[in-house]
């Protein structure tokens, strides 16, 4: 029913000892999933090809990430770093989404979860930013359009930070819709209600301190109907768990139950519109205990 894509190279992306987006995040998720579900179908993520990356990224960004030879750490911005292991990690993180789309659309599995890092949804066509090197979910969506000929791909993003890169990449692409809840104001400063693209974007900013009731309300009343009306042939999820009340980078007051509830709602839409086909990619989440709990809750629902 579900395959989990990951790769050891994603642990070799070194961000330094004090960085919140650190290898321990992924290690915690992998151990939690292995403990909760010993029978998971684990798959090794391949490297994304240059052609797959170039569907959404400019050549200059590929050269920066893949051809820089860092000796130690190189800061691309105050938050985003390159290390000797970063290039392969970025290729595997993006490749996981591509392989997961192939698996779901070829009926090898109904759903897939990509347990990878670095995250992706802040990376724009030309810039790495916000811990993200390549936009993993955008690469996956573009692959579904180009390789599988889909006409409607939906992206649901519940990370506490707005997926500015994903939105910018697809803002003028009628075959992709993007629905996001996020704390606002907060990094990266985008995601206002009036950012609607060509009618294919729906943003639901949440104020500082918003709780699970407010989170569920914007999805129930705004974002889920928007996704359902798009009638997607494939549903992709940017699964960021940094809206949890214990997360150090934001101040929403969500729980693992809130993420499980939303996952169930998204599964219902997928079951109704696209034979249950979902590919979910890990984004943020920086309290390790909360990240483990929420990842397990998310996969618990996706398994059935």
* Whether the Cβ atoms of residue 47 and residue 95 lie closer than 8 Å to each other: yes
What's residue 162's pLDDT?
99
What confidence tens digit (pLDDT) does each residue in 233-256 have?
A: 999 999 999 999 999 999 999 999
Strands 176-183 and 41-44: unpaired
Q: Is the pLDDT of residue 191 over 90?
A: yes
What's residue 171's pLDDT?
98
**Residue 57 annotated as catalytic:** no
* 254 bridge partner residues: 244
Which ranges in 149-181 belong to alpha helices (H)? Answer: 164-170
Name residues whose C-beta falls within 8 Å of residue 67's C-beta, 6 or more positions apart in sequence. none
Q: Which CATH class is domain 2-302?
A: alpha beta
How far is residue 220's CA from residue 4's CA, in Å, rounded to a whole number? 28
Q: How many residues does the chain have?
A: 304
Question: Which strand (E) or helix (H) includes residue 195?
Answer: none
Which of 235, 225, 292 is closest to 263 using CA atoms? 235
Query: Hey, how many other C-beta atoms are within 10 angstroms of the C-beta on 209?
Result: 11
What's residue 178's pLDDT?
99
Confidence of residue 1 (pLDDT cuts 50, 70, 90): confident
How far is residue 241's CA from residue 254's CA, in Å, rounded to a whole number? 9
Confidence of residue 68 (pLDDT cuts 50, 70, 90): very high
* Adjacency order of strands within the sheet including 201-206: 41-44, 2-6, 111-114, 278-282, 234-239, 153-157, 176-183, 201-206
What's residue 200's pLDDT?
99
* Whether the Cβ atoms of residue 263 and residue 278 lie closer than 8 Å to each other: no
* Whether the Cβ atoms of residue 93 and residue 132 lie closer than 8 Å to each other: no
Q: Is the pLDDT of residue 6 over 90?
A: yes
Structure letter (DSSP) for residue 48: P
Looking at every residue in the chain, the average pLDDT score rounds to 98
How far is residue 277's CA from residue 281's CA, in Å, rounded to a whole number? 14
Residue 183 dihedral angles phi and psi, to the nearest 5°: -75, 140
What's residue 82's pLDDT?
98
What confidence tens digit (pLDDT) does each residue in 158-188 have?
A: 999 999 999 999 999 999 999 999 999 999 9
Give the mean pLDDT of 147-151: 98
pTM assigned to the model: 0.98
What confidence tens digit (pLDDT) does each residue in 253-270 have?
A: 999 999 999 999 999 999
Confidence of residue 304 (pLDDT cuts 50, 70, 90): confident
Which of 121, 122, 161, 244 is an active site residue?
A: 122
* 201 bridge partner residues: 178
Query: What are the helix and strand counts (H, E) for the chain?
Result: 10, 10
Which of 226, 259, 267, 237 is closest to 121 using CA atoms? 237
Domain ranges of the chain: 2-302
Which of 199, 204, 205 is closest to 177 using CA atoms? 199
Residue written as tokens 């009618």? 199
Q: Is the pLDDT of residue 272 over 90?
A: yes
């Amino acid at each position: 029913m579900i395959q989990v894509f990951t790769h050891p190279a994603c642990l070799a992306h070194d961000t330094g000892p004090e960085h919140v987006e650190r290898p321990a995040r992924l290690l915690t998720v992998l151990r939690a999933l292995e403990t909760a579900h010993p029978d998971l179908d684990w798959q090794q993520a391949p490297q994304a090809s240059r052609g797959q990356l170039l569907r959404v990224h400019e050549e200059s960004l590929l050269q920066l990430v893949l051809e820089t030879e860092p000796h130690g750490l190189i800061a691309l911005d105050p938050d985003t770093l390159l290390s000797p292991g970063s290039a392969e990690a970025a290729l595997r993180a993006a490749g996981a989404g591509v392989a997961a789309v192939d698996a779901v659309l070829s009926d090898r599995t109904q759903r897939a979860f990509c347990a990878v890092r670095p995250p992706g949804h802040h990376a724009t066509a030309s810039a790495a930013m916000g811990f993200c090197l390549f936009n993993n979910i955008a690469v996956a969506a573009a692959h579904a359009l180009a390789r599988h000929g889909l006409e409607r791909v939906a992206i649901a993003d519940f990370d506490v930070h707005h997926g500015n890169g994903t939105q910018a990449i697809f803002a003028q692409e009628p075959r992709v819709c993007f629905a996001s809840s996020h704390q606002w104001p907060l990094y990266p400063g985008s995601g206002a209600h009036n950012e609607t693209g060509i009618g294919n974007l729906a943003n639901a900013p949440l104020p500082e301190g918003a709780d699970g009731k407010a989170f569920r309300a914007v999805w129930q009343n705004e974002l889920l109907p928007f996704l359902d009306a798009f009638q997607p042939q494939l549903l992709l999820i940017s699964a960021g768990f940094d809206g949890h009340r214990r997360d150090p980078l934001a101040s929403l007051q969500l729980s693992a139950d809130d993420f499980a509830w939303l996952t169930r709602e998204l599964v219902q839409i997928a079951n109704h519109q696209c034979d249950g086909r979902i590919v979910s990619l890990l984004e943020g989440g920086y309290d390790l205990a909360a990240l483990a709990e929420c990842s397990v809750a998310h996969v618990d629902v996706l398994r059935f």
